[in-house]
Chains A and B, each alone.
Chain A
Amino acid sequence: MIHHAVSRGLQSLAVLLIMSFVVYGLMGLMPGDPIDLMIAGDPHLTAADALRLKALYGLDKHWTERYLRWLAQLAQGELGYSRLYARPVLDALLPALGNTALLMAAALALALLVAVPLGILASLRPGSAFDHGINLLAFASVSLPTFWLGLMLMVVFAVQLGWLPASGMSDVSGGGGVLDRLRHMALPVATLALAGMGQYIRHMRAAMVGEAHHDYVRTARAKGCSPARIVLRHQLRNALIPVATILALEVGGLFSGALITETVFAWPGMGRLIFEAVMGNDFNLALVGLLLATAMTLLGSILADMAYAALDRRVNFR
């Protein structure tokens, strides 16, 4: 088990290294050049100044050489400076991480609160009209484009009814504490939860239906267990194993998964930060943000493996 985790960890490091190299190369292919931007911003700069600036920032070197230097700095914990936010990369990233975690934790909790009971109910009578209805609902949920759902919720609850704020994290007036934060969270959390619950419903239902055929269920029924107890105490415990695995996978993706919702609602989280950094030529921030998001996703998939092995005694990694 430990051996397995270590080898997965090393593989993930390799993936991260390759990813950083590829993304670094791609950044150089994006429109706009930091020095060009400086020249555009300051008419007094001459061509000679531009060359000197390029030499100063090392931009006269080939990009592979610059990549190696960047990597060496990263190894020393030097993440660089964000041009867009005018502060060290870490200072720009950390608040965004917190904001995303808040948004995603609330959305995940809400999605599970709806999905787990619905999945269990649908599994009780496979093939019934109720099951078909829930199935259709789950398909509708996974088919929802989040940017449209967010926009429609905004149209109804912010534009037409005026009940909730359309965007941001707090009011301009400085915010009214917890209630103000909750009001700003309502629409993005609802968007993410509505679009996310479908897959949990499907996984929950499939896992419950799968468990229903096992011998232990028949045994429990034979010894006179009540149906509710069989479902909730026996089946549910085992059915939660695959669902927990999916959850661990999701947790990794959470840090970049809300990119669209965060952009629509102007929520200052990781997804929006990465998007703006890429679009705004803020290479340092974009690179570190992307690598962090990738690292989280990889960590999530390792966690999913470990959770599966820890929860299900039948699995072992030799």
Chain B
Amino acid sequence: MSPIAARALRRLRRDLPALLGLAVLTVLVLLAVLSPWLLQDPEAMDLAALFAAPSAEHWLGTDELGRDVLARLAQGGRVSLAVAGATALLAAIIGTVLGLLAGYHGGTLDALLMRLTDGVMALPLLPLLIVLAAVDPSKLGIPPERLADEGIAIARIVAIIALVGWTTVARLVRAQTLSIKARDYVRAATAIGAGPRRIMIRHILPNVASPIVVAATLSVGHIVLIESALSFLGLGIRPPLASWGNMLTGAMNVVWSAPAQALWPGLAIFLTVLACNLAGDGLQRALDPRSGDAEF
């Protein structure tokens, strides 16, 4: 193990909030992945037991169609976490590529890419996402029968959020690239004839890895919030596929008759986002070369 990773691990082990965040995330991911084997069918309706109170059979009760709330939460979690993970990854890849190119080549390309980054960063995020999400994919030439597919529905929302979510990583990577490309070992590599691609991938990328990891972890929580907000507004993941956001839409429609429905999906979102933020913050402190071991 590299000394940097060892130091990071040593620091993480003593960081209680970060450990708590990581533990909660692990439990949530396990629950989401294993739910088809552990829990009931989230689509199964029990019309004799609408809005049932928690019981041995339905641990968190049932919803307006008599579906098991816990099973739907777990299915929603699968979708929300898959979307968040995939989006964070895609956004990090876009940001890394653009940041490397801008930082390494400099000049006009750098100026253009950074103006683009500034422009995207300055846009009002949510209204823009709503416009993007409201676009009818069938007008883009995707056949309507394929849109019913779960995978396509998820890919659509991943693409939309990643399209505006890459800017932080791009800026971080560019700044790091600028400082690293002036170092002696990079100049030495250039001198022995390494091409730009080799230098970017072999010499620069490993040195910008830790800020990318931190930014991506912190972005997961943010993406969960955005995806659930879009789903809540009816523009993200659409029923019958459950997501935490659209479960809350259902809960809002019955808020006067069954107010308890609103509790669980929101609590799940809140805990996930909090856990991601705590873990990301801990990772940031653990990987920061400037902070000492003793410092908070």
Question: For A81, what are the chain B residues with a Cβ–Cβ distance below 8 Å?
Answer: none
Q: State whether B127 touches A145 (Cβ < 8 A).
A: no
Question: For A264, what are the chain B residues with a Cβ–Cβ distance below 8 Å?
Answer: 252
Q: State whether A142 touches B277 (Cβ < 8 A).
A: yes
Question: For B188, what are the chain A residues with a Cβ–Cβ distance below 8 Å?
Answer: none
Question: For A147, what are the chain B residues with a Cβ–Cβ distance below 8 Å?
Answer: 228-229, 232, 245, 248, 266
CB 8 Å contact bits of B242-268 with A (1 = contact, 0 = none): 000100100110011001001101110
Q: Which of A15, A27, A151, A255 has the most CB of B within 10 A?
A: A151
CA distance A81 to B122 in the complex (A): 28
B-side interface size class: 35 or more
Is B110 among interface residues, defined by CB-CB distance under 8 A? no
Q: Which of A11, A139, A253, A255 has the most CB of B within 10 A?
A: A139
Is B130 among interface residues, defined by CB-CB distance under 8 A? yes
Is A259 among interface residues, defined by CB-CB distance under 8 A? yes
The smallest beta-carbon distance between B72 and chain A, in angstroms, is 16
CA distance A257 to B123 in the complex (A): 11
Is A310 among interface residues, defined by CB-CB distance under 8 A? no
The smallest beta-carbon distance between B275 and chain A, in angstroms, is 8
Is A143 among interface residues, defined by CB-CB distance under 8 A? yes
Q: Which of A148, A274, A290 has the most CB of B within 10 A?
A: A148
Q: State whether A15 touches B266 (Cβ < 8 A).
A: no
CA distance A159 to B256 in the complex (A): 6
Contact A278-B233, Cβ < 8 Å, known A127-B296, A294-B123, A301-B122: no
Interface class of chain B by DSSP? helix
The smallest beta-carbon distance between B113 and chain A, in angstroms, is 14
The smallest beta-carbon distance between B228 and chain A, in angstroms, is 6
Contact A159-B233, Cβ < 8 Å, known A11-B115, A145-B228, A294-B124: no
Q: State whether A143 touches B221 (Cβ < 8 A).
A: yes
Question: For B267, what are the chain A residues with a Cβ–Cβ distance below 8 Å?
Answer: 148
Q: State whether B255 touches A151 (Cβ < 8 A).
A: yes
- Smallest CB-CB separation from A270: which chain B residue? B127
A-B contact list, 8 entries, CB within 8 Å: A14-B119, A23-B131, A30-B134, A127-B296, A259-B130, A264-B252, A290-B131, A297-B122
Known contacts A147-B228, A159-B255; 12 additional CB pairs below 8 A are A26-B131, A29-B139, A127-B295, A142-B277, A145-B228, A147-B248, A148-B248, A148-B265, A159-B256, A253-B124, A256-B126, A297-B124
Smallest CB-CB A-B distances: 8 pairs: A148-B266, A127-B296, A143-B274, A143-B273, A31-B136, A256-B124, A155-B259, A15-B119
